[in-house]
């Protein structure tokens, strides 16, 4: 059982839709991450929140908007996505101190029509 | 610019034998290295890690070796079991939060 929970598991949306991906952890971790993974490629870092503040934005297009309402929750708001944004979106968390492993959720499989 | 590379996309090993997965990196600023295992339809699961100040870390059947001069790390699994069949990713950390993943190696353990 994963300790990082992502919802929904699958999402199909049109290019004009607005939707959100959700991630929750109850391990007391203070760093949370969004990754994007395309087929047969490694996960690519998108955003990092540390102590509920945005620490890293890897030049992600503004149609992706992250939000960290509290230390347990992480959202990714989606608007006007493109077909090439279809991918597996992974959330992870870590303790927030250096040299600690990340714990991943099972991801949301996103398809853009 | 792939800073972390796994040059073998796949590996097949007989049950009970040793599996050796390799990973090369280019950035000397990486200070922490990890191995993850990924089954289909699941997120990556942390296996084992090593700090850049060490050259070996062992946890049960899993051992990670780090050769800093060669910028190379490897994961040894002994003995290999069919349940070990999965995609294995190495990852390297720079700074507090920046983790870079390799391209993955699909391990198949044959019964």
Q: Would you call B89 and A106 a contact, using CB atoms and an 8 Å cutoff?
A: no
A10, HSE (Cβ side, Cα atoms, 13 Å)? 2
Phi, psi of A94 (to 5 degrees): -150, 170
Q: B17: closest CA among B61, B60, B74, B50?
A: B61
Give residue A91's pLDDT.
98
CA B64 – CA B51 distance, rounded (Å): 10
pLDDT for B48 beyond 90: yes
CA B109 – CA B111 distance, rounded (Å): 7
pLDDT for B103 beyond 80: yes
A4: which chain B residues are within 8 Å (Cβ-Cβ)?
43
Give the closest-approach CA distance of B111 to chain A in angstroms. Answer: 25
The model's confidence at residue B1, banded by pLDDT at 50, 70 and 90, is low
Give residue B14's pLDDT.
98
The model's confidence at residue B76, banded by pLDDT at 50, 70 and 90, is very high
Q: Is A107 at the interface with chain B, CB within 8 A?
A: yes
pLDDT for B71 beyond 90: yes
Chain B interface, Cβ < 8 Å to A: 4, 31-32, 34, 36, 41-46, 49, 51, 89, 93, 96-104
A107: which chain B residues are within 8 Å (Cβ-Cβ)?
43
Which residues 45-104 in chain A show a CB within 8 A of chain B?
45, 48, 50, 55-56, 90, 92, 94, 98-99, 101-104
Give residue B96's pLDDT.
86
Please give the average per-residue pLDDT across A85-108, as a whole number.
Answer: 92
Please give the average per-residue pLDDT across B26-46, as a whole number.
Answer: 93
Joined together, the tokens standing for residue B16 give 């009970």
Q: Which among B4, B32, B104 is the nearest to A99, CB-wise? A: B32
CA A73 – CA B34 distance, rounded (Å): 25
The model's confidence at residue A99, banded by pLDDT at 50, 70 and 90, is confident
The model's confidence at residue B2, banded by pLDDT at 50, 70 and 90, is confident
Q: Where are the alpha helices (DSSP H) in B1-111?
A: none
């Amino acid at each position: 059982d994963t300790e990082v929970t992502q919802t929904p598991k699958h999402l199909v949306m049109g290019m004009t839709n607005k939707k959100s991906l959700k991630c929750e952890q109850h391990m007391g971790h203070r760093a949370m991450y969004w990754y994007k993974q395309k087929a047969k490629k490694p996960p690519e870092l998108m955003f990092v929140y540390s102590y509920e503040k945005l620490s890293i934005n890897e030049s992600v297009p503004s149609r992706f908007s992250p939000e960290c309402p509290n230390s347990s929750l992480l959202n990714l708001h989606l608007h006007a996505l493109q077909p090439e944004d279809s991918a597996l979106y992974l959330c992870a968390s870590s303790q927030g101190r250096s040299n600690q492993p990340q714990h991943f959720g099972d991801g949301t499989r996103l398809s853009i029509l | 610019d792939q800073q972390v590379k796994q040059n073998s996309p796949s590996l097949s090993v007989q049950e009970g034998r040793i599996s050796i997965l390799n990973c090369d990196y280019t950035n000397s600023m990486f200070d922490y290295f990890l191995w993850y295992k990924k089954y289909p339809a699941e997120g990556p699961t942390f296996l084992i890690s090593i700090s850049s100040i060490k050259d070996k870390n062992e946890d049960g059947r899993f051992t990670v070796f780090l050769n800093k001069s060669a910028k190379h790390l490897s994961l040894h699994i002994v003995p290999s079991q069919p349940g070990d069949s999965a995609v294995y990713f190495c990852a390297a950390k720079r700074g507090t939060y920046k983790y870079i993943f390799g391209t993955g190696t699909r391990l198949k353990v044959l019964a």
